């Protein structure tokens, strides 16, 4: 918003306009300055420090030797232990995303095709678990799946015997799906709700079957939602720490937990820093691809 | 939506069943947790008659109370600071053009998309490095305490607040501001009397989101809190890792109630702002851009 009329009524000259623009730019910068300063010091600087540490070496005393940069910490990605953890994390994050998609797509479709009054109430009931404390939601599953817990009691009563899926990868996936399902529902709902239903009507008028008009019209038009939702589920699942810690066992160490161990237990900061960088780069690449393709749907 | 596009028969039944299943999945664990927090049995997840013992234990437990107090302080201070910084940043990005704007925009997005664990690691390394520098330059020995937790929470909350406020500024009718300046209002006056009242729902929404996220955070707080500054989620997380107990059930239910209250408040704030938008729309009905702003800000807020 650049004022085109000067306040005192004198004619607007290009010089005055330039000066006004400069003053405006200065004011904008000053408004941004507190946040910019804070984030530079407490976000950008930490980011640079992690990047530097990822090239450093751990010394014999558990400290870090900053001289003599090398790629050793990144080479550790090739070690079987780290590689297994990386593959397992990618695999579980992928499975979580697929399961979320399978349940969220029909759910969002149902939601988007309700009457507005019903739809708003249904949306509120999606928002409540979405905003509910994440730790508490994970803990609820710990109680539910526990030995002799409610689920076990239920399956025993039906005659299926005790269930013991706590501390297995299944429990981790269950917890991740529970935690991130709303991330899939909301963008899917947003993109399905926007569909011009006249297109679907037209296809039906031209004797397309329900399945054909779904495949040829609804699915392609809701693709932005599918992609956005998948990214929003996949990224946090890949870096998950709380869920695998609470619901997984020793054999299901994921990337997030492994990074934490490198810092708090193994005291190998360069290794932890390198893995954090890998996690962040994966995240950045996916986000950039997404924004390039379709930046406006979020 | 017309009758020709409505799903029928099998697909209709499937969609309805799936919707109920998803809701059951969402709510069954939470409801069971609440029910079992009133159970008299010492084993978690077994019903042993109604009791309030675990809530009494919660009220008496000094560690839990201390951690709760730390959490409340962190949440309030970090929310206040990030609301001010985030709103200023939103105004700068939506209403001004300045050099370095793109870089600032990107910097503001990063804390949102970066994984928790990475952010925690970054801040841990930063503080230890920073304390070393302070120690060698000024001879002051600093250590992690409540202020490091507050700073870390501000670092991610600024971005969330600014996104919510920006959505509000974007959805706002800019002609109102133009009208104000046409009537010789100074830029400050136009902000004070026109823009600010309009973005209050956005600021309130941002503040509630910041409070929720601060109370939600385990990973970052675990890395940057010192011995005396354990937040409630960090303390509870530690307890759960040692094993479940009915006391944790009670603490969890208290945290649950707090977050549900915050959701209700933010939905209420949104409802009010949408009602206002609706009124504006009724007055100038040809303006169909405004119609979408209410619903788009809802989905935008929910996604972030």
A3 belongs to a structural domain: no
Report residue B280's pLDDT band, with 50, 70 and 90 as the boundaries. low
Mean model confidence pLDDT for chain B: 84
What are the backbone angles phi and psi of residue A254, rounded to the nearest 5°?
Answer: -110, 170
Structure tokens given for B253: 């239910």
Where does the pLDDT of residue A298 fall: very low under 50, low under 70, confident under 90, or very high at 90 and above?
very low
Task: Give pLDDT tens digits for B100-115.
Answer: 888 999 899 899 888 8
Higher-pLDDT residue of A219, B270: A219
Please indicate, yes or no, if residue A4 is contained in any of the structural domains.
Answer: no
pLDDT of res. B198: 86
The arithmetic mean of pLDDT across residues A57-82, rounded, is 78
Q: Which of B27, B85, B113 is nearest to A282 (CA)?
A: B113
Nearest to B33 among A42, A140, A245 (CB): A140
Residue in the structure block whose two tokens are 């809802």: B298
Packing angle of the helix pair A169-193, B289-303 (nearest 10 deg) = 170
Residues of B in contact with A106 (CB under 8 A): 14-15, 18-19
For residue A160, list its beta bridge partners. none
Shared domain for A143 and A250, answered yes or no, is yes
- Let me know if residue A5 belongs to a domain: no
Expressed as residue numbers, the domain containing A26 is: 14-53
**Closest alpha carbon to A224 in A256, A190, A252, A255:** A190
Q: Which residues from A are below 8 Å from B298, CB to CB?
A: 123
Q: Kindly list the residues from chain A whose CB atom is less than 8 angstroms away from the CB atom of residue B71.
A: none
Are A188 and A105 contacting, i.e. CB atoms less than 8 angstroms apart? yes
- Averaged pLDDT, A211-236: 90
In a shared domain, residues A127 and A158:
yes
The total of structural domains in chain A comes to 2
B-facing residues of A in 179-238 (CB < 8 A) are 181-183, 185-187, 189-190, 197, 200-201, 204-205, 210, 213, 228, 232, 235-236, 238
- CATH value at residue A132: 1.10.3720.10
B167-192 mean pLDDT = 84
Q: How large is the ipTM?
A: 0.85
Instruction: Name the packing angle between helices A116-131 and B289-303 (round to 10°).
Output: 30
B278 or B179, greater pLDDT:
B179
Tell me the angle at which helices B246-283 and B196-216 cross, rounded to the nearest 10 degrees: 160
- How far, in whole angstroms, is CA B93 from its chain's centroid? 21
- Domain assignment present for residue A33? The answer is yes
For A69, the 3-state DSSP assignment is coil
> Which has more confidence, A150 or B162?
B162
Higher pLDDT, B244 or A106: A106
Q: CA angle A156-A159-A162, nearest 5°?
A: 35
Asked if residue A59 belongs to a domain, the reply is: no
- Digit-coded pLDDT (tens) for A232-285: 899 899 989 999 999 987 777 899 989 998 888 888 888 899 999 998 988 888
Model pLDDT, residue B289 = 41
Tens of pLDDT, residues B231-274: 999 999 999 988 888 889 999 999 999 988 988 888 887 777 66
pLDDT at B288 over 70: no
Q: Which residues contact A63 (CB under 8 A, 6 or more apart)?
A: none
Do A251 and A138 share a structural domain?
A: yes
CB atoms under 10 Å from CB of A20, counted, come to 16
Nearest-10 Cα torsion for B81, B83, B85, B88: -150
Give the pLDDT score at B20. Answer: 95
For residues B153-164, give the mean pLDDT: 95
* Mean pLDDT (whole number) for A217-229: 91
Q: What's the mean pLDDT in A4-18?
A: 66
- Across the range A218-244, mean pLDDT stands at 91
| CA of A5 vs chain B CAs: smallest distance (Å) | 9
Is the domain of A48 the same as that of A179?
A: no
pLDDT surpassing 50 at residue B2: no
Shared domain check, A211 and A114: yes
Lowest mean pLDDT among A227-236, B11-20, B137-146: B137-146
Nearest C-alpha in B relative to A198: B1
pLDDT over threshold 50, residue A226? yes
Q: In whole angstroms, what is the distance from residue A147 CA to residue A153 CA? A: 9
Q: Which chain B residues are Cβ-neighbours of A205 within 8 angstroms? A: 4
Q: Which residues make beta-bridge pairs with A57?
A: A65
Do the chains contact at B303 and A187, CB–CB below 8 Å?
A: yes
In 3D, which of B68, B90, B18 has the Cα closest to residue B230? Answer: B68
Architecture of the domain whose range is B62-280+288-303: Orthogonal Bundle (1.10)
Q: Are residues A23 and A108 in the same domain?
A: no
Task: Work out the average pLDDT over A12-29.
Answer: 84
| Residue A293, pLDDT score | 65
Determine, yes or no, domain membership for A186.
yes
Per-residue confidence band for A2, with pLDDT thresholds at 50, 70 and 90 = very low
Is residue A37 domain-shared with residue A158, that is, in the same domain?
Answer: no
In this predicted model, which residue has the larger pLDDT, B96 or B84? B84
Between residues B116 and A69, the one the model is more confident about: B116
| Confidence category of residue A163, pLDDT binned at 50, 70, 90 | confident
Query: Is residue A67 in a domain?
Result: no
What is the predicted pLDDT for the residue at B294? 38
pLDDT of B53 strictly over 70: yes
Q: What is the pLDDT of residues A278-295, one digit of tens each?
A: 989 888 888 888 777 654
pLDDT class of B98 with cuts at 50, 70, 90: confident
pLDDT of residue B1: 46
**Cβ-Cβ contacts under 8 Å, B85 against chain A:** 34-35, 38
**pLDDT attached to residue A204:** 86
Put simply, the answer to whether A197 touches B5 (Cβ < 8 Å) is: yes
Other Cβ atoms less than 10 A from the Cβ of B179: the count is: 13
pLDDT at B221: 95
Can you state the angle between helices B246-283 and B289-303, rounded to 10 degrees?
Answer: 170
- The minimal CB distance from A31 to the residues B26, B88, B129 is found for B88
- Torsion (CA) B35, B38, B42, B44 in degrees, nearest 10: 20
φ and ψ of B65, to 5 deg: -60, -45
Nearest CA in chain B to A179: B26
* Count of CB atoms situated within 10 Å of the CB of A100: 27
pLDDT in tens, B295-304: 343 334 443 3
The residue with greater pLDDT, A91 or A66, is A91
What's the pLDDT score for residue A11? Answer: 64
Within this chain, do residues A31 and A168 fall inside the same structural domain, yes or no? no
Quote the CA–CA distance of B26 and B14 in Å, as a whole number: 18
Residue of B294 and B46 predicted with greater confidence: B46
């Amino acid at each position: 918003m650049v004022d085109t009329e000067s306040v005192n009524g004198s004619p607007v000259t290009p010089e005055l306009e330039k000066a006004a623009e400069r003053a405006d730019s200065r004011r904008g910068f000053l408004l941004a300055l507190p946040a910019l300063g804070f984030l530079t010091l407490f976000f950008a600087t930490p980011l640079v420090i992690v990047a530097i540490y990822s090239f450093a070496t751990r010394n014999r005393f558990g400290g870090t030797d900053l001289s003599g940069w090398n790629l050793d910490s990144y080479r550790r990605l090739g070690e079987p232990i780290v590689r297994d953890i990386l593959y397992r994390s990618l695999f579980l994050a992928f499975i979580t995303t697929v399961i979320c998609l399978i349940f969220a797509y029909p759910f969002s479709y149902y939601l988007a095709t309700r009457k507005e009054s019903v739809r708003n109430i249904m949306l509120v009931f999606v928002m409540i678990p979405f905003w509910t404390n994440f730790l508490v939601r994970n803990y609820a599953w710990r109680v539910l799946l526990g030995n002799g817990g409610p689920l076990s009691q239920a399956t025993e009563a039906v005659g299926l015997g005790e269930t013991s899926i706590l501390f297995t990868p299944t429990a981790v996936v269950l917890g991740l799906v529970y935690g991130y399902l709303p991330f899939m529902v909301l963008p899917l709902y947003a993109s399905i709700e926007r569909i011009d239903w006249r297109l679907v009507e037209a296809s039906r008028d031209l004797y397309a079957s329900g399945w054909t008009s779904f495949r040829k019209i609804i699915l392609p038009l809701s693709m932005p939602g599918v992609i956005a939702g998948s990214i929003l589920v996949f990224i946090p699942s890949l870096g998950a720490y709380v869920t695998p810690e609470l619901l997984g066992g020793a054999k299901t160490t994921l990337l997030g937990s492994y990074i934490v161990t490198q810092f708090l237990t193994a005291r190998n900061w360069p290794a932890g820093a390198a893995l954090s960088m890998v996690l962040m780069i994966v995240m950045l690449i996916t986000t950039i691809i997404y924004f390039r393709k379709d930046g406006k749907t979020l | 939506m017309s009758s020709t596009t409505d799903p029928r028969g099998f697909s209709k039944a499937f969609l309805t069943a799936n919707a109920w299943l998803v809701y059951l999945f969402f709510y069954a664990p939470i409801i069971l947790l609440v029910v079992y927090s009133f159970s008299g049995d010492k084993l978690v997840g077994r019903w042993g008659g109604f009791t309030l013992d675990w809530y009494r234990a919660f009220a008496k437990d000094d560690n839990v109370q201390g951690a709760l107090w730390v959490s409340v302080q962190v949440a309030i201070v970090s929310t206040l600071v990030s609301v001010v910084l985030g709103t200023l940043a939103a105004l700068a990005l939506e209403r001004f053009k300045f050099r370095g704007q793109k870089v600032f925009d990107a910097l503001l997005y990063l804390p949102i998309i970066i994984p928790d664990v990475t952010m925690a690691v970054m801040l841990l390394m930063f503080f230890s490095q920073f304390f070393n520098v302070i120690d060698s330059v000024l001879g002051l020995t600093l250590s992690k305490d409540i202020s490091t937790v507050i700073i870390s929470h501000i670092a991610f909350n600024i971005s969330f607040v600014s996104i919510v406020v920006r959505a509000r500024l974007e959805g706002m009718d800019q002609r109102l501001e133009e009208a104000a300046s046409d009537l010789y209002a100074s830029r400050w006056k136009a902000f004070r009397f026109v823009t600010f009242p309009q973005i209050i729902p956005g600021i309130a929404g941002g503040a509630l989101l910041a409070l929720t996220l601060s109370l939600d955070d385990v990973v970052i707080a675990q890395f940057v809190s010192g011995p005396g500054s354990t937040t409630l989620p960090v303390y509870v997380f530690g307890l759960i890792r040692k094993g479940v107990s009915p006391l944790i059930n009670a603490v969890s239910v208290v945290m649950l109630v707090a977050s549900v209250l915050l959701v209700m408040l933010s939905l209420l704030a949104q409802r009010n702002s949408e009602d206002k938008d609706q009124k504006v729309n009724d007055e100038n009905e040809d303006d169909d851009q405004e119609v979408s702003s209410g619903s788009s800000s809802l989905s935008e807020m929910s996604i972030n």
